[in-house]
Amino acid sequence: MQFIETRGNDGVRAESVGFSEALLSPIASFGGIYSPDTLPEIDLEFLENHRFASYKSLALALLNLCEIEIVPTTLKQALDLYDRFDDASNPVPLVRAGDDLFVSELYHGPTRAFKDMALQPFGLLLSSLARQCDRQYLILVATSGDTGPAALETFRKRDNIRVVCLYPDGGTSDVQRLQMVTEDAANLKVIGIRGNFDDAQSALKALLSSAEFNRQLDHLNISLSAANSVNFGRIIFQIIYHVHAYLELVRQQAIALGDKVYLNIPSGNFGNALGAYYARKMGLPVERIIVSSNANNVLTEWIDTGIYDISDKALIATTSPAMDILKSSNVERILFDLFGQHRTRELMKQLDEKRCYRLEADELAQIQQIFTADFCSDEQGRAYIRSSFDQGYLIDPHTATCFKSWDTLDHEPLACIVASTAEWTKFSQVVNQAITGKTGEADLEALESISKAAHIEIPETIRALFSKPVCHNTVVDKSEIEAEILNFLRG
Ligand SMILES: *Cc1c(COP(=O)(O)O)cnc(C)c1O
């Protein structure tokens, strides 16, 4: 698998790069990103041959089909990290939550959110590549709550990588903040920002384009990489679990091999949905991919009308904050894959300059062949958490948006697999309000309240957070971030 640039080539960069290069330096010409030039095929024979494969051996088979140039021992080490999930023999359980509704639980990793699915193996790969080329890399993360903990966890004590993580002080749940500020490794720095997530993100963007900051990094011999889902190194691991969930459904005899299913994805930056898109394109029998959103429903509008318009929209803070996004970065890879480099560059330019673009009718028809979409208000989300709880199954607010779309969208009588992205423990206040009606409690109280109401244990990793020593106390104004980072890098 080779990688080419979504917005075309500037004549300076290589025309195409291998997997390692796309991982280490994910930004391409004209502000584009790297996408695979071809995808391998998974036919029914492949699925039949892997009908009883473990998660890891399925993953290895799929990665081998992709022909990425990672040495087998490193790849094996990366996949062995799934052994640290709750059940090493099945890191991603599939649970039935209704007649035709199944949930692929992607959150059984160390930070209890689906970011671990990709970031765990990705962290090991990136560190190993950095060691091979004997360079030091800096990963800058601005987080609203889930990416930060998962990035810190995967890179802790890894060679040749340092991570600086910016979070909005007071803007995350207690659990999310504790997951970050209790990470004690010398290569990690966690900084709280006085401001909201947008402030943290724009501070980071300003830094990335600051000539002075980049000069300082050069001086320190440190290169920048990225751990967000513009990095294809994350996306590749997000194809696997969709295939796994399908085979799990076959194993549970809920479908026959070859039957079509819906994949239902709670979407923000569209990495998860992109993984589903690739799986479908490779040959997984998928009727359509359902893109579920919250009140920030740009993706719903895009799929329903072909118009991507954020010119008159402001970000709304919702109870599913990991999906509070206006500019969804991986949509670009869909445009590229369907309409090519030239058109992608044109559309992304319009989005950057006018904050709006409109697809042609035939383009929209292609999108609608593959995707369908719906969105969910916070209030509706709580109602779905409540009704699911009443039927004995606990879901988080992100997953709830998928339950809503499955309930209200027109669809064929087929099975639906919801990609569940977070454990209830990550968003306990919302879940607690939904099932007990109580508000205004701190996370620990909310966790205990849910635990009691649902007769379910609080996982030890979550409970332990509340008594772990805090080792990152830095909270600063935006103007102080650069100095903090350079201080850390020099230290
Ligand atoms: C990151 C995240 C999402 C959104 O995933 P994308 O791949 O960015 O679309 C949804 N839910 C949770 C809990 C997340 O952490």
184: its two tokens: 């004690």
In this model, does residue 151 exceed pLDDT 90?
yes
Ligand 1 pocket: which of 103, 146, 401 to mutate (most atoms <8 Å of CB)? 146
106 lines ligand 1 (CB under 6 A): no
Domains detected in the chain: 93-109+236-457 (3.40.50.1100)
Question: Can you list the alpha helix ranges (DSSP code H) found in 112-196?
Answer: 115-132, 147-155, 174-181
Give 294 Cα–ligand 1 centroid separation in angstroms: 12
Give 13 Cα–ligand 1 centroid separation in angstroms: 31
Measured distance CA(280)–CA(284) in Å, rounded: 5
Question: What pLDDT does residue 198 have?
Answer: 80
- Per the prediction, the chain carries an average pLDDT of 96
Integer CA distances (angstroms), 272 to 241, 278, 403, in order? 10, 10, 17
Query: 115: which strand partners?
Result: none
Give 265 Cα–ligand 1 centroid separation in angstroms: 9
- Range 436-447 average pLDDT: 96
Q: Which DSSP string do the residues of 420-482 spell out, in sequence order? A: E-B-GGGGHHHHHHHHH---S--HHHHHHHHHHHHT-PPPHHHHHHTTSPP----EE-GGGHH
Protein residue whose Cα sits closest to atom 11 of ligand 1: 421
At residue 240 the predicted structure's pLDDT band, cuts being 50, 70 and 90, is very high
Provide, for the chain, the percentages of residues in helix, strand and coil under a 3-state DSSP scheme, each rounded to the nearest 5. 50, 15, 35
Question: What pLDDT does residue 204 have?
Answer: 87
145 lines ligand 1 (CB under 6 A): no
Give 338 Cα–ligand 1 centroid separation in angstroms: 23
Question: What pLDDT does residue 449 have?
Answer: 98
Cβ–Cβ under 8 Å, residues 100 and 415? yes
- What number does the ligand 1 atom closest to the CA of 266 have? 10
Ligand 1 pocket: which of 172, 269, 293 to mutate (most atoms <8 Å of CB)? 269
Cβ–Cβ under 8 Å, residues 291 and 265? yes
Residue 344: other Cβ atoms inside 10 A: 25
404 lines ligand 1 (CB under 6 A): no
- Lowest mean pLDDT: which of 196-205, 268-277, 336-345, 447-456? 196-205
- What number does the ligand 1 atom closest to the CA of 114 have? 15
421 lines ligand 1 (CB under 6 A): yes
Question: What pLDDT does residue 98 have?
Answer: 96
Ligand 1 pocket: which of 232, 263, 267, 296 to mutate (most atoms <8 Å of CB)? 267
111 lines ligand 1 (CB under 6 A): no
**Which strands make up the sheet holding 415-420, listed edge to edge?**
94-96, 101-105, 415-420, 261-266, 286-293, 371-375
Closest CA to 228 of 178, 289, 163, 175: 163
In this model, does residue 47 exceed pLDDT 90?
yes
What pTM value is reported for the model? 0.97
Question: What pLDDT does residue 229 have?
Answer: 87
Question: What pLDDT does residue 197 have?
Answer: 82
Q: Over the stretch 279-314, which tens digit does the pLDDT of each residue have?
A: 999 999 999 999 999 999 999 999 999 999 999 999
Ligand 1 pocket: which of 294, 330, 421 to mutate (most atoms <8 Å of CB)? 421
Q: Over the stretch 368-399, which tens digit does the pLDDT of each residue have?
A: 999 999 999 999 999 999 999 999 999 999 99
Q: Over the stretch 465-487, which tens digit does the pLDDT of each residue have?
A: 999 999 999 999 999 999 999 99
269 lines ligand 1 (CB under 6 A): yes
229 lines ligand 1 (CB under 6 A): yes
Q: Are strands 101-105 and 94-96 parallel, antiparallel or unpaired?
A: antiparallel
Closest CA to 206 of 138, 142, 270: 142
Closest CA to 112 of 473, 431, 346: 431
Protein residue whose Cα sits closest to atom 3 of ligand 1: 322
Protein residue whose Cα sits closest to atom 2 of ligand 1: 322
465 lines ligand 1 (CB under 6 A): no
At residue 163 the predicted structure's pLDDT band, cuts being 50, 70 and 90, is very high
427 lines ligand 1 (CB under 6 A): no
Question: What pLDDT does residue 270 have?
Answer: 97
- Range 418-435 average pLDDT: 97
Question: What pLDDT does residue 346 have?
Answer: 98
Query: 105: which strand partners?
Result: 420
Give 129 Cα–ligand 1 centroid separation in angstroms: 26
Q: Over the stretch 65-100, which tens digit does the pLDDT of each residue have?
A: 999 999 999 999 999 999 999 999 999 999 999 999
Protein residue whose Cα sits closest to atom 8 of ligand 1: 269
